[in-house]
Structure 1
Amino acid sequence: MKFNTKLLHGKAGRNTPDGATLPGISQVSAFSYDSAEHLEKVFGNKAPGFAYTRIGNPTVVAFEQRINEVEGGTGAIACASGMAAITVALLNVLSAGDEIIAGSGLFGGTIDLFKDLEAFGITTHFIPHITVEDIKPVLNQNIKAVFGEIIGNPGLDVVNIKEVSDFLHENGVPFIVDATTATPYLINALAAGADIVIHSSSKYINGSGNAISGIIVDGGKFQWDKERYPAMKEYSKYGKFAYTARLRNDVWRNMGGCLAPMNAYLNILGLETLGIRMKALCNNALTLAKALEKLPGITVNYPGLESSPYKTLVDEQFGGLGGAILTIRAGSRENAFKLINSLKYALIATNIGDLRTLVIHPASTIYLHSTQEEQEHAGVYDDTIRISVGLEDVEDLIEDFTQAVKNI
């Protein structure tokens, strides 16, 4: 079964007892039972059912099952946002004194989160790129995970998942990846070697910018050493489900970052068109990048361009599709603002993955609280503009950006 067919006809999409073609929206806080004994069994995991939406909801489970099937995982857990997903995915296996490695080109919110974790005794080593070469010098026995974005946002560096995961597994370290910008359409990250996959499903999975959400998918293949990961001791009896079991019954449940049922439903609607949207978005992004590359006064960064150092990896890992984000440098902040303000179709907004083209000046927004050095490590400069390419007719986008560039 190919990608689009699986989205529409996979087993997870057939679990509606009333025959409805989409799951219902269980927009409730709690679920009632006919006896105290029955509810006791549900709470004790001795009978199927739901008790309280913070710890389980039918609509949310339907979304989790669909994502899990597409990713080929052993289990998926949905969260209130992408940031909530990253937080609990890491805290599920980390404790005070632990260390992680992360790329310095991460999304600004993720960098800020990792700084916040220092207050809890968790240290992050930021390295230039998630490569074996950059990981080796900082790898030590306290490193409990390596975290990277498959396609950096907004740096647009691309991680060789197989190469990095093979090296990490030789050293007993899990590879946790943020696949938001790549999506399951460009790559099956678990099959490529990643251990845990995270999506800010608010973005391309949702596709319409109408719901905030995140989701974590466990591949079930990493061997959680009980001495190195003491938090997993109690759950080792669950075998390949150990990570998900602890996450659902401990960190995720207790931290309260549950996904709202309505948002889960909106994500299910978006997920069904992910394949056709991503193909069109990536094609638009490449065509726009090629056109802008010819214009004087700006420089263009897009992984799918022949001029990109990641072009070969994009071809090998993503089948030639370089994602739907590109950045341009306009020469100065003044030029960047003038270009942005001259656009007719692109919306000035902080999201990515919408149906519409969105633009933003990252240095003055997402990376406002980062130092200049931190910004530059993330591929953000004072003249950088991030473009999340939409589904407009690409000829109109080219015309619009061309006239805007001429105004600077």
Structure 2
Amino acid sequence: MSDMMYFDHAATTPVHPRVLEAMTPYLTQVFGNPSSVHGFGREARKALEQARDQIAAFMDADPQSLIFTGSGTEADNLAIIGGAMAQRERGRHIITSQIEHHAVLHACEYLEQEGFEVTYLPVDETGSVRLADLKEAVRPDTVLVSIMYGNNEVGTIQPIEEIGTFLREKGILFHTDAVQAFGVLPIRVRQLPVDMLSVSAHKINGPKGVGALYLAKKVPIEPILHGGSQERKRRAGTENLAGIVGFAEATKVTEEEMDDRVSKYKRMKEEMQAVWKEAGIAYQVNGHPEMVMPHVFNVSFVGVHTETMLMNLDLVHIAASSGSACTSGSLELSHVLKAMHLEDSVSHSAIRFSFGITNTVDEARRAAEAVAKIVQRLVKRA
């Protein structure tokens, strides 16, 4: 697949060579269980806590507030199900938005089966949650709110600080799924009014199968996995040590390169649009014009169906997506675009390009030229 241009980094990213190098000793030599008391275990424990310190420093968190999980999905489930269950005597009302990742939406649907009520907030045409809608939805029995930091399909950044400040005043727990924003936006949890925040390694050139949940002090949570007393009895199961070490190295690399990456991604968006303007093809950028993550670029080419465009791009070795990888196997319209109430012609022709470390500005230009040719050919035929 070396000749393939990969523009689907929001789905997953390649493991950085430095990450692989950092992980290797923990797959071969330092294989002890971090919970074991002998020398092998102590060596593993030391590496685990060093990695925790590194990841916590990257997000400006107390290391003891970080719980390692098997994925961003598990971190979301632990926050939402664990946070709701720990407070069920106080109230059984939860608020989220209609454009959350399925890890959040399906966790909320599960809680509905367990007797909770969930309000799914609408968004405007840019994919933004309105603070006024949230204020109106809050009830005396509201115990938890989960609003994502940045949307994985259109890139819109939500007003997390305003939402969190309001919820602090009300004494309501606030969780944000920051899986897609982590590593492209500066996240400093000590300065954010959030109680819980989910992240994942494989979105920042770390390995798959490891995530983390930031859990502020004194936030009540009920474990959703039952077994050993790992992670301060909040997440049972032997820690994925090699994965966690890789996660820590990925945050180091990201910290060193983040500014350069972000400016490159912005140039790529500009370059692609310049090509399309010059080619004279019709396109529409979806999401918020300013409050948007630099690496996510959702564009509609009206008159060319999403699946048709993706197949044509694949034929010329360009990998893009229709949005969330979790629903890309089906022809169903994206729930995010549906919630934004875009014209059918716009939502049925949307493509997500998402940038990462393997991409260059020249690649972006060539991909945009390929798109322009496909659009011109298919629109002419229609």
TM norm. shorter chain > 0.5: yes
Cα distance, 1:66 vs. partner? 1.4
CA contact (8 A) 2:321 2:328 kept: no
Aligned to 1:361: 322
Q: 1:174 to 1:30 in 2, by over 3 A?
A: closer
Task: Specify every segment of 5 or more residues in structure 2 that has no aligned partner in the other structure, as ranges.
Answer: 1-21, 124-128, 223-228, 376-382
Q: Given that residues 201 and 211 in structure 2 are in contact (C-alpha distance below 8 angstroms), is that contact kept between their aligned partners in structure 1? A: yes
Check whether the contact 1:127–1:135 (CA below 8 A) recurs between aligned residues.
yes
1:324-339 superposed matches below 5 A? 324-331=295-302, 332-339=305-312
Whether the 8 Å contact between 1:23 and 1:62 is mirrored in structure 2 is no
**Using the alignment, how far apart are the partners of 1:127 and 1:116 within structure 2?**
18
Q: 1:298 to 1:158 in 2, by over 3 A?
A: same
Looking at structure 2, the residues matched to 370 and 219 of structure 1 have their Cα atoms a distance apart, in angstroms, of: 40
Partner of 1:286: 266
Change (3 A) 1:108 1:31: closer
Aligned to 1:401: 368
- How far apart are 1:389 and its partner, in Å? 0.5
Inter-CA distance 281–382: structure 2 relative to 1 (3 Å threshold): farther
CA distance in 1: counterparts of 2:154 and 2:285, whole angstroms: 12
**Residue in structure 1 matching 2:211, options 201, 214, 234:** 214
Q: Deviations over 1:246-290 (max 9, x none)?
A: 99444422xx4x541111122122121112443333223222222
The alpha-carbon distance between structure 1 residues 199 and 334, as it changes in their structure 2 partners (threshold 3 A), is closer
Query: 1-side partners of 2:332 and 2:137: how far apart?
Result: 23
SS at match of 2:54: helix
Correspondence 1:79 to 2:69? yes
Deviations 1:21-46 (A, max 9, x none): 99962433475547xxxxxxxxxxxx
Q: CA deviation at 1:363?
A: 7.2
Q: Which residue of 1 aligns with 2:193?
A: 193
Q: Percent identity?
A: 14
Does 2:356 correspond to 1:390?
yes
Counterparts of 1:67 and 1:153, CA distance in 2 = 22
- Matching of residues 298-337 of structure 1 within 5 Å: 298-301=283-286, 303=288, 308=289, 311=290, 313=291, 322-331=293-302, 332-337=305-310
| Aligned pairs for 1:73-112 within 5 A | 73-74=61-62, 75-95=65-85, 98-112=92-106
Task: Give the Cα–Cα distance (whole angstroms) in 2 for the partners of residues 124 and 369 of structure 1.
Answer: 26
| Structure 1: distance between partners of 2:98 and 2:284 | 22
RMSD: 3.5
What TM-score comes out, normalization by structure 2 length?
A: 0.71
- What does 1:3-402 correspond to in 2, within 5 Å? 25=26, 26-29=30-33, 32-33=36-37, 57-74=45-62, 75-95=65-85, 98-129=92-123, 130-183=129-182, 186-190=185-189, 191-204=191-204, 207=205, 210-220=207-217, 248-253=231-236, 256=237, 259-294=239-274, 295=276, 296-301=281-286, 303=288, 308=289, 311=290, 313=291, 322-331=293-302, 332-344=305-317, 346-347=318-319, 359-362=320-323, 366=327, 372=333, 374-377=335-338, 381-391=347-357, 392-402=359-369
User: Aligned equivalents of 2:252 and 2:130: distance in 1?
Assistant: 33
CA distance in 1 between counterparts of 2:69 and 2:325 reads: 28
One-letter amino acid of the structure 1 residue matched with residue 131 of structure 2:
V
CA distance in 1 between partners of 2:273 and 2:312 (Å): 15
Distance 2:171 2:294 in 1: 31
1:166 CA displacement: 1.2
Instruction: For 2:285 and 2:311, locate their aligned partners in 1 and report how far apart those are by CA, in whole Å.
Output: 17
Q: CA deviation at 1:147?
A: 1.0
Partner amino acid, structure 1, of 2:299 = I
- The question of whether the paired residues in 2 share the 8 Å contact of 1:105 and 1:155 is answered with no
Alignment match, 1:352 = none
**How far has the Cα of 1:326 moved from its partner?**
1.2
- The secondary structure found in structure 2 opposite 1:199 is strand
Q: Tell me: CA distance 1:29–1:274, structure 2 relative to 1, closer, same or farther (3 Å).
A: same
CA contact (8 A) 1:107 1:154 kept: no
* CA deviations over 1:86-109 (Å, ceiling 9, x no partner): 111223321256222112111234
Whole-Å Cα distance in 2 between the matches of residues 373 and 387 of structure 1? 15
Residues 157-205 of structure 1 show CA distances to partners (whole Å, capped at 9, x for unaligned) of: 211222111111111112211222222662334213222221122212x
Equivalents in 2 of 1:174, 1:194: separation in Å? Answer: 8
Runs of 5+ in structure 1 lacking a partner? Answer: 1-20, 35-48, 233-245, 315-321, 348-358
TM-score for the superposition, normalised by structure 1: 0.67
Mean CA deviation greater in 131-140 or 106-115: 106-115
Secondary structure of 2:176's partner? strand
SS in 1 for 2:83: coil
Q: Please tell me whether the aligned partners of residues 300 and 326 of structure 1 are also in contact (alpha carbons under 8 angstroms).
A: yes
1:395 to 1:79, Cα distance in 2 relative to 1, 3 A: same
Q: Which amino acid aligns with 1:211?
A: K
CA contact (8 A) 1:104 1:377 kept: no
Provide the residue aligned with 2:14 in structure 1.
Answer: none
Counterpart-to-counterpart distance in 1, 2:315 and 2:285: 18
Amino acid of the structure 2 residue aligned with 1:116: Y
Letter in 1 for 2:215: D
CA–CA distance in structure 1, aligned partners of residues 103 and 36 of structure 2: 39
